[in-house]
């Protein structure tokens, strides 16, 4: 994901001289929005998990490679931005539960193996839920997507 609008906004606020900032603030109040863990999950992790699943189902390996890298980035950013949540060491837990399935997904994509992809994406999905259960958030149940919620995106491989 490109640097988010949020980071851009924060950078702009920092870069703007205070006099100019005061004026801007008077015209358009600027509030800095800090997404919580649940927001980051919903905004960045969940869509990547869905898109990766759809890519693999369509055997679109080039796109699956891209989307797996995006998911990796999203998870790393969550761990960096929210290393702790309540009493839980989110960064460490993230690595512990997702490392293996993410590695298996990379192998499955490299070898263009649809069966292995489905198995490892299923395993990744279990790791999402394992962490939700371990953090007392067992009401959040992730599953492998059956349909696409993105009517404007083609998940099939590009025709040569
Ligand atoms: C390291 C632990 C951890 C892992 C791994 C994890 N999550 Fe989460 N997730 C949480 C916690 C804790 C919350 C609740 C945060 C809050 O309420 O602010 C959450 C919340 C969410 C939510 C918000 C629920 C809602 O309905 O609003 C979604 C969606 C979500 N996770 C998806 C995923 C997906 C998909 C994966 C796997 C690719 C995943 N999570 C992996 C810890 C984790």
Report the CATH number that the domain containing residue 107 is assigned in CATH: 1.20.120
Tell me the CA–centroid distance for residue 147 and ligand 1, in Å. Answer: 20
pLDDT tens for residues 53-75? Answer: 999 999 999 999 999 999 999 99
Containing 159, the helix (H) or strand (E) segment is none
pLDDT of residue 20: 53
Alpha-helical runs (H) found in 58-113: 61-81, 90-110
Whether 54 and 130 map to the same domain: the answer is yes
113: number of Cβ within 10 Å = 16
User: Is the pLDDT score of 137 beyond 50?
Assistant: yes
User: Does 91 map to a domain?
Assistant: yes
User: Does 142 map to a domain?
Assistant: no
For β-strands 84-85 and 88-89, DSSP reports them as antiparallel
Three-state secondary structure call for residue 84: strand
The Cα–Cα gap between 117 and 19 comes to 55
Ligand 1, atom 30, residue with closest C-alpha: 41
Q: Which domain holds residue 16?
A: 1-34
Task: Show Cβ contacts of residue 104 under 8 Å, excluding neighbours closer than 6 positions.
Answer: 116, 119, 120, 123
By percentage, how much of the chain surpasses pLDDT 70? 83
Q: Which of 88, 128, 139, 145 to mutate to test ligand 1, by most ligand atoms within 8 A of the CB atom?
A: 128
Q: Are the CB atoms for 60 and 156 separated by under 8 Å?
A: yes
pLDDT of residue 26: 64
The number of folded domains in the chain is: 2
Pocket around ligand 1: residues whose beta carbon is below 6 Å from it?
36-38, 41-42, 45-46, 49, 85, 90, 93-94, 97-98, 124, 127-128, 131-132, 135, 137, 140, 142
E strand map for the chain: 84-85, 88-89
Q: Are the CB atoms for 9 and 30 separated by under 8 Å?
A: yes
pLDDT of residue 11: 47
Nearest Cα neighbor of 114 from 66, 58, 50 is 58
Six token digits for residue 123: 């395993």
Q: Which atom of ligand 1 is nearest to the CA of 135?
A: 12
Whether 18 and 54 map to the same domain: the answer is no
Strand partners, 88: 85
By percentage, how much of the chain surpasses pLDDT 90? 77
- What is the sign, positive or negative, of the torsion defined by CA atoms of 68, 138, 34, 145? positive
Ligand 1, atom 38, residue with closest C-alpha: 128
pLDDT of residue 1: 44
User: Is the pLDDT score of 13 beyond 80?
Assistant: no
pLDDT of residue 66: 98
pLDDT of residue 12: 46
User: Does 80 map to a domain?
Assistant: yes
Tell me the CA–centroid distance for residue 83 and ligand 1, in Å. Answer: 13
Ligand 1, atom 31, residue with closest C-alpha: 41
Whether 119 and 73 map to the same domain: the answer is yes
pLDDT of residue 16: 53
Ligand 1, atom 3, residue with closest C-alpha: 131
């Amino acid at each position: 994901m490109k640097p988010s609008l949020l980071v851009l906004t924060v950078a702009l606020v920092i870069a703007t001289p205070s006099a100019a900032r005061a004026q801007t603030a008077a015209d358009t109040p600027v509030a800095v929005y800090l997404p919580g863990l649940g927001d980051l999950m919903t905004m960045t992790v969940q869509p990547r998990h869905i898109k990766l699943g759809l890519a693999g189902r369509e055997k679109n390996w080039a796109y699956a490679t891209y989307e797996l890298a995006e998911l990796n980035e999203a998870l790393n950013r969550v761990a960096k931005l929210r290393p702790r949540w309540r009493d839980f060491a989110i960064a460490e837990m993230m690595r512990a539960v997702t490392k293996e399935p993410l590695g298996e997904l990379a192998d499955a994509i490299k070898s263009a193996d649809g069966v292995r992809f489905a198995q490892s994406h299923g395993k990744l999905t279990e790791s999402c839920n394992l962490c939700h259960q371990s953090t007392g958030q067992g009401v959040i149940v992730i599953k492998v997507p059956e349909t696409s919620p993105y009517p404007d995106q083609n998940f099939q491989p590009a025709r040569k």
